[in-house]
Amino acid sequence: MKKLILVFMFFSVVCSAQQDAQFTQYMYNTIEVNPAYAGSRGVLSAFGLYRTQWIGLDGAPETSTFSVNTPLNNSNLGLGVSLVNDKIGPTNENTVSTDLSYTVPTSETFKLSFGIKGTVNIFNLDVNKLSFEHQDDEQFQNLRNKITPNVGAGIYYHSDKAYFGLSIPNFIQTNRYNDNDVAIFKDKINYYFMAGYVMDIDYNLKFKPALLTKMVEGAPLQVDVSGNFMFNDKFVVGVAYRWSASLSAVAGFQVTDGMYIGYGYDHETTALRKYNSGSHEIFLRFDFFNNYNRMTSPRFF
C-alpha cells in the first residue's frame, strides 16, 4: 500500500503540486523566496534548516537548506548565497542561488529593498525507485545532473516591526526531458506575497501575525497564516495553519544575542494524515555582530 501511495504522491508532485520547497517557519527563511531580503537584518546572518515531511511515508519530501546573507560594508547593497537540497521520492534536486539587493530608506522607520536572484538547479531522477506497468516506457528514464539556470526578483518593504514582500524566485519555466524530448517534470513559475507585523502587548510580551501566499499555475492557492508570541525577548511559541493542508505548532529560543533555534511540527489535515505521523522542521540561525551593528532587541524575522 505504501508503495502505491508513493507512486501516486510522486506523480501528483510532477503534475501540479509542491513546486518550490515549503517551510512552516517561512518568516525566518525569507531569502529562499525573496532575494530583496538579503542584508535586511543589518548583520552577517547564517541560517540552516532541516525538514522531514510526512513521517512514515516512503519517499516523502525531505529538505535541507543553508544560507548566508549580509549587508555590504556601509553601502545600500546586500548579498546572499543559499543552497537547498530537496528530495521527493525518486527525485533529488540541488539548487544554488546568489541574491543581490539594493535598499532605499523611505522614512525614519521603513526601507524598501529591491532584489535579484540567480539560480542553478541540478535535477536527478532515479526511476529504479518506481514501479511501472510497462518497464520499457520511454517517458521514464534516469536523469542525471540535469542543469538548468534561472533568474528571479523581489521587493521587500520593511522596518523593525513590520514587513511586506512580493517575489518571483524563478522567472523561467523549465522542463526536464528524456532523449525523446518528452517532458516528465515541469518546474512552473511561483508567485509569493508575504507580510508580518510585531505588536508590543506588554513590556515583556510581543505578538506577531504573519502571512505567506503562493500561487502557481495548475495548483490551488497556498495560504500560510501564523501567530507567534515572544516572551522576554527569549522564548517563542505559536501556531500556524496551511490552508486545507496542515496545522502546526512552532517554538523557538534565543540562546544568545546571536544564536536562535527553532522547531515546528505539522499535523496533516488532508486524507494523507492516515498514512503518516506528521512533519518535523528544525533550524538554527547565527547573527554575527560587531560594535557598530548590534541589534537593540532580537528580531522576529
Which CATH number characterizes residue 37's domain?
A: 2.40.160.40
Q: Which residues contact 35 (CB under 8 A, 6 or more apart)?
A: 80, 97, 99, 100, 101, 115, 116, 117, 152, 153, 154, 167, 169
Query: Does a structural domain hold residue 92?
Result: yes
pLDDT of residue 15: 42
Give the chain's residues under pLDDT 50: 1-18
pLDDT of residue 298: 60
Q: What are phi and psi of 150, to 5 degrees?
A: -160, 165
pLDDT of residue 48: 97
Query: Does a structural domain hold residue 23?
Result: no
Query: Does a structural domain hold residue 14?
Result: no
Contact 271, 254 (CB under 8 A): no
Per residue in 106-135, pLDDT (tens digit) is: 999 999 999 999 999 998 888 777 666 655
Can you list the pairs that 220-224 forms with residues at least 24 positions away whose Cβ atoms lie under 8 Å? 220/244, 222/22, 224/24, 224/26
Return the residue matching grid coordinates 500561487. 215
Query: Does a structural domain hold residue 4?
Result: no
Query: Does a structural domain hold residue 99?
Result: yes
pLDDT of residue 295: 55
H/E element, 185:
strand 183-187
Query: Does a structural domain hold residue 2?
Result: no
State the residue range of the domain holding 158. 31-288
Number of domains forming the structure of the chain: 1
Query: Does a structural domain hold residue 75?
Result: yes
In this structure, the number of other CB atoms found within 10 A of the CB of residue 73 comes to: 6
Query: Does a structural domain hold residue 251?
Result: yes
Least Cα distance to 40 among 107, 111, 116, 117 occurs for 111
Q: What is the largest CA-CA distance in the chain?
A: 67
The whole model's pTM is what?
A: 0.86
pLDDT of residue 53: 93
